[in-house]
Amino acid sequence: MQKKHLAVAALAATSGLAAAQGSVTVYGLIDTGIEYVNHASASGGSLTRVSSGAMNTSRIGFRGSEDLGGGLKAIFQLENGFKLDTGGLDGDANQLFNRQSTVGLEGSLGRIVAGRSFSTTYDFILPFDPMGYSAQYSWVTSAGATGARKDGMPTGVSNLVKYQGTFGGVKIGAMFGFGEVAGSTRDSAKYGVGLGYDNGPFSVAATYDRVNGTAAVAGGAFDKSTTAHLAAAYQVMESLKLSGGYRYYKRTQASGATPLRSDFYWGGATYRFTPALSLIGAVYYQNQKNLAVDADPILYSLRLKYALSKRTDLYASGGYAKAKNNQLVGLSRDDVGFADSQVGVTLGMQHRF
């Protein structure tokens, strides 16, 4: 009898441990293509290259969860972006998990994580970019005029605490990135909030965020970048989806100089000829203000995509960027411009695992 009781107790303990066990998933995305761009140097020459992460940034990641009971889970995510053409890190050389490195809790009231992650604005607004989370030929995260006029949204944020919850068709989110400067909680801090609504064919989102610069002296003044976004999408029919948005940008300068201002607009459409074949067209435009010479760059983008399977796509992308007043412009958000216009074409392949 005693042995029977011991066996039952051991079985119960084992079952409890099994119930508490979670899962870990290894996932990734590999994206590369052959790209041609003109005006690729100060001499005006063109360039043909192997381009990494043309449609989406190449990455590898680990995510997992553990059931804590009562509908509560412990969660984590580690994600590294890399350049497929060279095998190097995509971002700061000292950041192994430059895209995501978080741990947190998730339950019926939403999820909260801490570490390095994407900003609330990025999470809420990027789904409304017709070109998706594209590193090429899209300016939703940052417009392509060179110099001090990137005028973009905060993307990756370190030292962050972030909350997001979905209740019916309503989504809410908030984040705070600690500046971690002794003597000041505002110096170098980042914060933002987001509100979204999804009702069948129609969805909309609005965000507000602030990024504080580094003070010249302890407790001194610092630059402040403020952005507000409004974006929407409408599924007109099964084969056609429209999406677009607006960004208000203002950078107040600690020096007391005239604030930098711009309004950014984008819009486009996705049309599916078949379940496998789709065409995306988009336009991005930034109206710069408070400058003696404005660039006011505009970008036209196209992408034709063919799905070989649920995980593998072939695509052809093209873009044309133009700036006014002989100002420099680059096709993609991180490119340096060498002329007042640029044309690029990419033939690529993407595989998810």
Q: By C-alpha distance, which of 60, 63, 90, 55 is closest to 312?
A: 55
Q: Is 36 exposed, middle or buried (0-12, 13-18, 19+ CB in 10 A)?
A: middle
* Residue 211 near residue 224, CB atoms below 8 Å: yes
Please state, rounded to an integer, the average pLDDT across all residues of the chain.
90
Q: How far apart are the first and last CA of the chain?
A: 52
Q: Report the percentage of the chain scoring pLDDT > 70.
A: 91
Which pLDDT score, from 0 to 100, does residue 147 have?
Answer: 57
- The model's pLDDT over 5-31, given as tens digits with 9 standing for 90+, comes to 434 344 343 444 444 578 999 999 999
Rounded Cα distance, 146 and 69, in Å: 51
106-110, 229-233, 255-259 — which is least confidently predicted? 255-259
Instruction: Give the alpha-carbon dihedral of 59, 48, 297, 283, to 10 degrees.
Output: -60
Which pLDDT score, from 0 to 100, does residue 290 have?
Answer: 82
DSSP 8-state assignment for residue 277: E
Token pair for 230: 């409004």
Spell out the domains of the chain, with CATH numbers in brackets.
27-352 (2.40.160.10)
Query: Region 220-242: what's the mean pLDDT?
Result: 95
DSSP 189-218: -EEEEEEEEEETTEEEEEEEEEEE---SST
- The model's pLDDT over 178-214, given as tens digits with 9 standing for 90+, comes to 999 888 888 999 999 999 999 999 999 999 999 998 8
Token pair for 28: 């990734």
pLDDT value at 277 more than 80: yes
Rounded Cα distance, 160 and 102, in Å: 9
15-29, 99-113, 214-228 — which is least confidently predicted? 15-29
Query: Region 319-339: what's the mean pLDDT?
Result: 88
